[in-house]
Amino acid sequence: MDGPTDIEGMLEPVDASTRVAAGALHPAPPDLTFRLMAEAMPHLVWSARPDGTVDYFNERWYAFTGSARPDDDGNGASPRGSWLDGLHPDDVDAAAAAWRRVLHTGETLDARFRLKEAGDAYRWFLGRAAPLRDAAGAVVRWLGTCTDVDDATRNEEAMAILARAGELLGGALAVEPALAAAARAAVPTLADWCAVDLAERRPDGSLGTHRVAVEHRDPEKVALALRLAERYPDASDAPHGVPHVLRTGRPDLVREIPAALLEASARDAEHLAALKTLGLCSYIVVPILEAVAQLELPHGAPRPATDAAPSVLGAITFVSAESERRYTERDVEVASELARRAALALERARLYEHALRDREQLAEQAEELSVQNERLQEQAAELEMQAAQLQEQATELEITHEQLQQQAAELEVSQEQLQEQAAEMEVANEQLQETAEELSRRVMELEAAKREVEHTAAERQRLITDLEHARADADAARERAEEANRAKSEFLASMSHELRTPLNAIGGYAELMELGLRGSVTEQQREDLARIRRSQRHLLTLINDILNFARIEGGRVEYDLRVIRLAGLVADVVPMIEPQVVAQQLTFDVRLPGGPGSDVSVRADAERVRQILLNLLSNAVKFTPAGGRVGVEVVNDDARPDVVLIRVSDTGIGIPADKQEAVFDAFVQVHAGLTRRHEGTGLGLAISRDLARGMGGDLTVESEVGKGSTFTLTLPRARDE
């Protein structure tokens, strides 16, 4: 029922009654036959004169839009307004432009837009209009229909949202990035605002929340929402919103937010004014339920505590504001599915974190077993030495025993002599008895020592076997972690390539339009196109940073090491940074070694060195206030004649001592509040240090808060100097 045949089926009967004679000023209004057909159709139907002036709406139009009907008997007066009235503000310009175009060309109109119904809600429609021509081919009337395609459009949106969520959540291996990805998937298609909260216990034992993500197209509004959440945290017993969903585990849908609800939620007049400024229209809050309710986390890791629903991990809030969307039960289903996927990603991220902790514990155990093995080896050596001593003593005992036997034989031969010395022999016999007992005791001790040695050797063998098993487990865990790192690097490289292609196309088309090759543009449009191109270039820079970091992390960076004259390289870099220096009203110094042979050379990759210097100088300009100084200096280090130092200094805000090493970590931005006003990913210094070390050098920093920073790039001196 939504195809062009709806209009084409009406053309023949209407054409016969509305043909215009030559010289007529206006075509006749729609006749009764057309009106009856239009009223019977399950669409919003309208007709217009050749100039586009609407002269008829069917009853379904008035019933849907709630617009006023003309005050007549249905045969004379024309309706007020246009079929464009009531369109969503975001759709009016495109629909009006399409209508003007077909009025000029006589082509068929085909447009999709949102139309406001009598209850102030918007629904998606497919609008079509066809020209009715006379025998000479001139347009005498336009016949149009508006077909409700809201359900199909919402389904398409839902599929797109869930597909985007799958892409964003698929690579998240940490808890908060996984939840932030879920929020990004919803804005702006499903919601103008999206926030993610995790359940947690407060110090007083009550149930609270920890906000991990807020998404909106306007960064200033995101900052406002974060300030409001910090200043006015939700009460744990609130009857609506996130606290209610955490307690019950069920979604909370408010189709239209009344003023009374805002007043009840506000803590004071300032809070109420801020809420009204946001223009909230409708909201959905859905729970994040544990992916597997009875899943045992490794090593008894604790789960977030909740009051009534132990499987509720948190909640996702979707809010409609400037789009004026009114949420329905269908939207709740889409939001719940998004929350389910977020829960799966959250569980996967937590399992990954536990796996990393297990790997660290295995490494610690392996190290401890290694220490124990060394101790056992020392004990075994000591036992072997004691066994050798016991063997010597046993040999001495055997010799003594032989001597005693010889003495006994001599005693038998000299029996007569012994009888004469009976008293003396009695004493000797007693001594011999004592000696025999002592020998017996020594033999028992030797046997006990032998058994102890055998037991210790068996225990040592068991510990060695356990150590080998632990080492094998640690090697397997290390291989799995390395495979995960490789997969992550490949994913980042692939995604960076896929993103750069459409971004280059955006930049190219924007440049064509800015140059007027696609038609004349106004000055305002030219400024907007320039902003688009700047944003496109910024996104390309961010993607290139991520790609470079992935290549470095994956060990796929190749270096073209050659002899480089630093004076020429610095001269190449200076013009690239001077526009920023002038814009910031800074003083820029360049210092090179003077005297004979002052053109210092290093062995490095020229392109990598240029990349490092541009990054360091850009950071120096970015964080130095107007009137400050930025400089680059090439220095010979007398203490280390085999290297050359390149220092980039500034008189900017400086870096705290406890944060100076952290600036070289990936995705770290020390001055978080300041960097929100500047572009960046937190990868520049991490990439620069890795590149420097890849060329056999290093990158270090010295800084004092309020006085500035100095970054020193160390590179190997070329051998021909």
pLDDT digits (tens, 9 = 90+) for 515-552: 777 778 788 887 777 778 667 666 766 676 676 666 67
Closest by CA position to 531, among listed 513, 547, 546: 513
Determine the pLDDT at residue 721. Answer: 54
Amino acid 449 reads A
Determine the pLDDT at residue 374. Answer: 82
Q: What is the pLDDT of residues 333-350, one digit of tens each?
A: 888 888 888 778 777 777
Q: What is the pLDDT of residues 42-76, one digit of tens each?
A: 889 999 999 989 989 998 888 888 888 876 544 44
Q: Where are the beta strands (DSSP E) in 32-106?
A: 44-48, 54-57
Give dist(CA 525, CA 95) in Å, integer: 19
Phi/psi for 194 (5° steps) reads: -145, 130
Determine the pLDDT at residue 631. Answer: 95
**Distance set, CA 211 to CA 203, 231, 346, 362, 681 (Å):** 17, 13, 15, 33, 22
Q: Any idea which of 120-129, 460-469, 482-491, 675-684 has the lowest mean pLDDT?
A: 675-684
Q: What is the pLDDT of residues 10-22, one digit of tens each?
A: 433 334 334 443 3
Q: How confident is the model at residue 303 (pLDDT cuts 50, 70, 90)?
A: very low
Contact 489, 553 (CB under 8 A): yes
Give dist(CA 664, CA 689) in Å, integer: 7
Amino acid 481 reads A
Q: Mapping DSSP to helix (H, G, I), strand (E, B) and coil, where does residue 245 land?
A: helix
Q: What is the pLDDT of residues 261-282, one digit of tens each?
A: 888 877 888 888 888 888 888 8
Give dist(CA 342, CA 195) in Å, integer: 13
Those residues whose C-beta lies under 8 Å from the C-beta of residue 77, and which sit 6 or more positions away, are: 70, 71
Q: How confident is the model at residue 401 (pLDDT cuts 50, 70, 90)?
A: low
Q: How confident is the model at residue 506 (pLDDT cuts 50, 70, 90)?
A: confident
Q: Provide the pairing of β-strand 643-650 with 629-636.
A: antiparallel
What domains are defined for the chain?
5-148 (3.30.450.20), 154-355 (3.30.450.40), 432-555 (1.10.287), 562-716 (3.30.565.10)
Give dist(CA 133, CA 34) in Å, integer: 16
Give dist(CA 635, CA 631) in Å, integer: 13
Q: Which residue has the higher pLDDT, 159 or 297?
A: 159
Q: How confident is the model at residue 85 (pLDDT cuts 50, 70, 90)?
A: confident
Provide the 10 A C-beta neighbour count for residue 502.
10
Residue 283 has what DSSP assignment?
A: E
Contact 372, 460 (CB under 8 A): no
Which residue in the block uniquely carries the two structure tokens 């009967």?
13
Which residues lie across from 133 on neighbouring strands?
Answer: 139
Determine the pLDDT at residue 97. Answer: 93
Which segment, 171-185, 219-233, 352-366, 704-718, is predicted with the most confidence on average? 704-718
Amino acid 279 reads G
Q: What is the pLDDT of residues 620-677, one digit of tens each?
A: 999 999 999 999 999 998 889 999 999 999 999 999 988 888 888 876 666 554 444 4
Those residues whose C-beta lies under 8 Å from the C-beta of residue 333, and which sit 6 or more positions away, are: 158
Residues found in the chain? 721
Closest by CA position to 285, among listed 245, 321, 255: 245
Q: Provide the pairing of β-strand 601-604 with 562-565.
A: antiparallel
- Across the chain, mean pLDDT equals 78
Residue 313's H or E segment, with its range, is strand 312-320
Give dist(CA 12, CA 143) in Å, integer: 12
Residue 144's H or E segment, with its range, is strand 139-148
Residue 602 has pLDDT above 90, yes or no: yes
Q: CA 654: distance to chain centroid? A: 28
Q: What is the dihedral of CA 507, 513, 516, 517, to 10 degrees?
A: 80
Q: How confident is the model at residue 585 (pLDDT cuts 50, 70, 90)?
A: very high
Q: How confident is the model at residue 359 (pLDDT cuts 50, 70, 90)?
A: confident
Q: How confident is the model at residue 399 (pLDDT cuts 50, 70, 90)?
A: confident
Closest by CA position to 352, among listed 179, 171, 166, 180: 171
Q: Return the biggest CA–CA distance within the chain.
A: 175
Give dist(CA 542, CA 398) in Å, integer: 86
pLDDT (average), residues 210-214: 85
* DSSP symbols for 367-422: HHHHHHHHHHHHHHHHHHHHHHHHHHHHHHHHHHHHHHHHHHHHHHHTHHHHHHTH
Residue 27 has pLDDT above 60, yes or no: no
Determine the pLDDT at residue 431. Answer: 74
Give dist(CA 298, CA 415) in Å, integer: 85
Q: How confident is the model at residue 24 (pLDDT cuts 50, 70, 90)?
A: very low
Which residues lie across from 711 on neighbouring strands?
Answer: 648, 701
Q: How confident is the model at residue 199 (pLDDT cuts 50, 70, 90)?
A: confident
Give dist(CA 430, CA 133) in Å, integer: 147
Determine the pLDDT at residue 217. Answer: 85
Give pTM, 2 decimals: 0.39
> What region does 156 belong to: left with phi over 0, alpha with psi -120 to 50, or beta?
alpha
Helices and strands (H and E) in the chain: how many: 18, 17
Contact 52, 103 (CB under 8 A): yes
Token pair for 327: 């949420």
